[in-house]
Structure 1
Amino acid sequence: MKLTVKLVSLFAVLSFVACKEASKKEAAKSTVTQTEKSEYQIPDSWIEKRVTSASNRLNATEAGKVLWGAMEAHGGLKKWYANGYLSFRFNYQPLNGKGIRDSYQTIDTWSNKARHNSITDKNDIFGWDGNEAWIKAKDSTSFEYDTKFWALTPIYFSGQPFVFDGKGVNLELLPQVEFKGALQNVVKVTYDKGVGSAPDDYYIMYINAETNLVDAFKYIVSYPEYFPEGGHAPEKITVTQETTTVNGIVFAKGFKTYWSKPEEENGLGEYITKIDVSDISFSNKVPENYFSKPNGAEVLK
């Protein structure tokens, strides 16, 4: 009888241990599955197809050839996409002290999704999920600027020239200019109607004729919510400061922005904004649903 009780007890213990181990394995399996779901799952064949398409389209025009040369000099479009999610801190500092915008952000360069968090409080976040802009913050003082507009704005500084590879982008080769003692190839970028939130925006890129790196760019802001009756802000010119190479991609470590004044030396008017770019990195993983609106967030109309 005692032996039977012992055997039953032993069986119960072994069954409990087996169940516990099975639960551990299921938990581990669940963790792996969740991790796998968060990986940068862009097949190499998709990247190759997109890069080949961009190469064929761009190299069919003189302006496109200049832009493609800049992409190659900055590390190559294939590496840009294959590197995965891009993260960086972008500290935009108007010299008048108004409208400072400082956030750490992660961008899905493949599909233009973004998530930012405040430098002062990582729980204050905003983003763009590809369809909707959202924000989750303790109060209105967390981000005292238009986060919907700003969600993808920094990548159009730090992501040049790669951000101009898509369809709906129009390129025009303008006459060469000398800028700060270096000859520049000049490419104007415009958009088809309906492309992006501000299709009337334009960029005029100064691409160094010797290095093929982007030395500067002019641009306007025509965001309809700022200009509901049409029009745009005065043209600005942003000048690349030092560069750094991260995972084979050349980035600016900062920019200086001036009012564009063609009559002034190098076309530089008043110096108005200092931008620092730091903590640049790529990763092949983010948490699952990282760019989606989190619980408690507000959708921005």
Structure 2
Amino acid sequence: MKYYTIFLLIILTVSCRAPEKDFHEKKDEGVTYPEPIQKMLDAHGGLDAWKTKSTLSYHVTRGERKEIHTIDLKNRNALINGDGYDIGFNGDQAWMSPDKSAWPDARPRFYHNLIFYFHSLVFLVADSGINISNKGMQEVDGQALIEVSITYQNHVGDSPEDEYVLFINPETYRLEHILYTVTYFTGERRKDYNGLKYTSWKEVDGLLVPDEFVGYTVEGGILAKERYVATFSDIHFSDESPEPSIFDIPEISVIDSLK
């Protein structure tokens, strides 16, 4: 087990989506996306380039707290190395090792892909089972942005009632910020949004990915009070898949059920 200082996001917030067999092959060839989404994908390096990647890893830091995340992009299996604990997902079950003593309130199934989903959202909107609706230009806190609504079909992941609202810069087509709901714990659709602003981007292996984002409360559809800052370093992509055994459930571990 690797020991790093805990990165704790104040249990903030995004749904846990259950992996399917191959996330890079789920869409039929020739599929088209609404223009803002296609231009957003292109502005961040392109979906074709994303599909060539098999592994994503990074260090994520909040203050002095740190974790290392490794994700198999083909099946979304995940491994998180923290200070005194590991969290993993093997495609079926989420686990924490050796136990929850280092983080008593942890929910591995909820958390294992939480940061990854925020970090790679630009490309994950191209997953199957997602409904995309272009809402057009909106003025948000004095800035003209393109608003795109994201919802999920009933069979998608553990929390298909989640909703995302993407705000895209109409000049650069970079993703500026998002609003999102969390339904994992209730299973009920809701309208009390959380917010997240992408404050810094970095080109890594031809893809533009965030190396910092900031979480916010939301008031009246506007980002309000800052909640946390997450910074990323040592971001790496690989064309090779990670060793599958790193996601295996350790002998000494606890399993997190769906709910």
Greater Rg over alpha carbons, structure:
1
**Alignment correspondent of 1:14:** none
- Give the deviation of 1:232 after TM superposition: 4.5
> Structure 2 stretches of 5 or more lacking a match?
1-20
Q: Any conservation in 2 of the 1:182–1:208 contact (CA below 8 Å)?
A: no
Query: Of the candidates 250, 271, 285, which is equivalent to residue 226 of structure 2?
Result: 271
Q: Any conservation in 1 of the 2:146–2:168 contact (CA below 8 Å)?
A: yes
TM-score, with structure 1 as normaliser? 0.70
Query: Of the candidates 195, 199, 219, which is equivalent to residue 180 of structure 2?
Result: 219
Q: Quick one: percent identity of the two aligned structures?
A: 23
1:195 and 2:156 correspond: yes
1:165 and 2:126 correspond: yes
Query: Of the candidates 242, 246, 250, which is equivalent to residue 208 of structure 2?
Result: 250
**Alignment correspondent of 1:106:** 70
Q: 1:250 to 1:300 in 2, by over 3 A?
A: same
Structure 1, residues 108-149: CA drift from partner, whole Å, max 9, x if none?
A: 12212111110x34xx21111111111112552246422210
Write the letter of the residue equivalent to 1:88. Y
Q: 1:139 to 1:168 in 2, by over 3 A?
A: closer
* Structure possessing the higher relative contact order (Cα contacts under 8 Å, 6 or more residues apart): 2
Q: 1:137 to 1:127 in 2, by over 3 A?
A: same
Structure 1, residues 211-253: CA drift from partner, whole Å, max 9, x if none?
A: 1111111101111xx226x354831121111111111111111
> Structure 1 stretches of 5 or more lacking a match?
1-41, 94-99
Write the letter of the residue equivalent to 2:252. G
Provide the secondary structure at the position in 2 that maps to 1:296.
coil
Q: Any conservation in 2 of the 1:74–1:213 contact (CA below 8 Å)?
A: yes
Q: Pairwise mapping of residues 9-24 of structure 1 onto structure 2 (< 5 A)?
A: none
Q: Give 1 or 2: higher helix fraction.
A: 1
Query: Of the candidates 159, 164, 171, which is equivalent to residue 210 of structure 1?
Result: 171
Q: Any conservation in 1 of the 2:100–2:106 contact (CA below 8 Å)?
A: no
Q: Any conservation in 1 of the 2:71–2:78 contact (CA below 8 Å)?
A: yes
- Give the deviation of 1:83 after TM superposition: 2.4
Provide the secondary structure at the position in 2 that maps to 1:289.
helix
Q: Pairwise mapping of residues 1-301 of structure 1 onto structure 2 (< 5 A)?
A: 53=28, 56-59=30-33, 64-91=34-61, 102-118=66-82, 120-121=83-84, 124-137=85-98, 139-142=100-103, 144-179=105-140, 182-223=143-184, 226-227=185-186, 230=188, 232=190, 234-262=192-220, 267-283=222-238, 284-301=240-257
- Give the deviation of 1:160 after TM superposition: 1.7
**Rounded Cα–Cα distance in structure 2 between residues aligned with 1:158 and 1:87:** 11
Write the letter of the residue equivalent to 2:253. A
Q: Any conservation in 2 of the 1:88–1:278 contact (CA below 8 Å)?
A: yes
C-alpha RMSD of the superposition? 2.7
**Rounded Cα–Cα distance in structure 2 between residues aligned with 1:288 and 1:237:** 34
Write the letter of the residue equivalent to 2:243. P
- Give the deviation of 1:101 after TM superposition: 7.5
Q: 1:221 to 1:82 in 2, by over 3 A?
A: same
Q: 1:231 to 1:181 in 2, by over 3 A?
A: closer
Number of equivalenced pairs:
236
Q: 1:179 to 1:82 in 2, by over 3 A?
A: same
Q: Any conservation in 2 of the 1:101–1:145 contact (CA below 8 Å)?
A: no
Write the letter of the residue equivalent to 2:236. S
